[in-house]
Amino acid sequence: MSTDTHFDVIIIGGSYAGLSAAMALGRSLRHILIIDSGQPCNQQTPHSHNFITQDGETPSAIAQKAKDQVLSYPGVMLLHDKVQQAERQADHFSVVTASNVPYTADKLLFATGIRDQLLPIDGFAECWGISVLHCPYCHGYEVSGQTLGVLANGDMGFEFAKLIHHWSPKLTLFTNGPSTLTEQQFQKLQAAHIEIIEKPIHSLQHTEGRLEKISFNDGSTHDISALFARVPFEQHSLIPQELGCELTESGHINVDELAHTTVEGVYAAGDNTSFMRAVSAAVAAGTKAGASINKDLIEERFGVTTLV
């Protein structure tokens, strides 16, 4: 690690979006520091899909190959640490890590992702990312035609069940308590031969994260191969909000098409800004953010804009 403490850009978060942005900036001859705590949201997922050239590869293998390639650019450095604090100081930003080491940069990019708030059902956390799934585009093909379930209720349950039904006709909607579907929604799901079970769920029976049965409070069970679920989330890092970055109604960091947050000089990209949670989407967002930051640095160099 270099002894330099000032960088053109500090990227907070070293997963797919952060690494992609670092590559764009490294190739732009920028001096970059990536600070990563090593807690990706997909660390339990066995395989990544729907990303051309890497379909079926493990998330860790994709990340490692990306790091090897990104760090081949001399201007890019990677620090395994956690940012504890960031603040604006006149014409730059200062960052302090858990190791109590200060760094400064002209720009900050948050590629910190989100943290899933897993449901308090026994077995849910152990199966998350393995057989309890959030995205059919990432994992639906691998379980297509099997006995599937959707864990949701109301409008979300209706829309999610419609979506997953395309991957398997053997589908059950679990509302985990009394249904809040409208009568019309209920009838449409029944017409599509989607079973609706309103029993409260007690636990998920599994072997090493592979679902086998859903157990209900009344002692009954239901055989199942995979369960699709949408869970609440929170920002993995609260620092953007502490800097004044606005969030959207959905809880994502509010950014424009070029990754600008509502705070000048602060950018965000990846899962923390979008409901499109896929490796390919994060990589694309990172590339766009890197190019956007480099363009802004160029404009400032020529006096077109100033950091205020």
- What are the pLDDT digits (tens) for 179-217? 999 999 999 999 999 999 999 999 999 999 999 999 999
Signed CA dihedral, 125, 127, 131, 137: sign only? positive
Which of residues 205, 229, 253 is at a domain's end?
Answer: 229
| Higher-pLDDT residue of 95, 277 | 95
Q: Please report whether residue 308 resides in a domain.
A: no
Q: Please report whether residue 107 resides in a domain.
A: yes
- Taking the C-alpha atoms of residue 114 and residue 234, their distance in angstroms, rounded to an integer, is 6
The overall average pLDDT reported for the chain is 93
Signed CA dihedral, 58, 62, 68, 71: sign only? negative
Residue 55, pLDDT above cutoff 90: no
| Higher-pLDDT residue of 303, 3 | 303
pLDDT at site 304: 66
Model pLDDT for residues 127-156, shown as the tens digit of each residue: 999 999 999 998 999 999 999 999 999 999
As a whole-number percent, the residues of the chain with pLDDT over 90 amount to 85
103 and 16 within one domain: yes
Work out the average pLDDT over 7-12.
98
Which of residues 183, 203, 229 is at a domain's end?
Answer: 229
Domain count along the chain? 2
221 and 236 within one domain: no
pLDDT at site 4: 74
For residue 217, the tally of other CB atoms under 10 A from its CB is 12
57 and 193 within one domain: no
Q: Please report whether residue 295 resides in a domain.
A: yes
96 and 42 within one domain: yes
40 and 111 within one domain: yes
pLDDT at site 51: 86
pLDDT at site 45: 77
Q: What domain range is 169 assigned to?
A: 124-229
* CATH number of the domain enclosing 14: 3.50.50.60
Q: Please report whether residue 106 resides in a domain.
A: yes
Using pLDDT thresholds of 50, 70 and 90, give the confidence band for residue 308: very low
249 and 164 within one domain: no
pLDDT at site 187: 97
Residue 47, pLDDT above cutoff 90: no
Cβ burial of 135 (10 Å; 0-12, 13-18, 19+) is middle
246 and 107 within one domain: yes
Count the helix, strand and coil residues of the chain and give each as a percent rounded to the nearest 5: 25, 30, 45
240 and 101 within one domain: yes
Q: Please report whether residue 196 resides in a domain.
A: yes
253 and 219 within one domain: no
Work out the average pLDDT over 259-266.
98
pLDDT at site 307: 45
Work out the average pLDDT over 272-283.
92
Specify the pTM.
Answer: 0.91
Which of residues 173, 194, 229 is at a domain's end?
Answer: 229
62 and 199 within one domain: no
257 and 184 within one domain: no
pLDDT at site 59: 84
130 and 71 within one domain: no
As a whole-number percent, the residues of the chain with pLDDT over 70 amount to 96
> Do strands 76-80 and 32-36 pair parallel, antiparallel, or not at all (unpaired)?
parallel
pLDDT at site 92: 94
- Taking the C-alpha atoms of residue 149 and residue 174, their distance in angstroms, rounded to an integer, is 7
Q: Please report whether residue 1 resides in a domain.
A: no
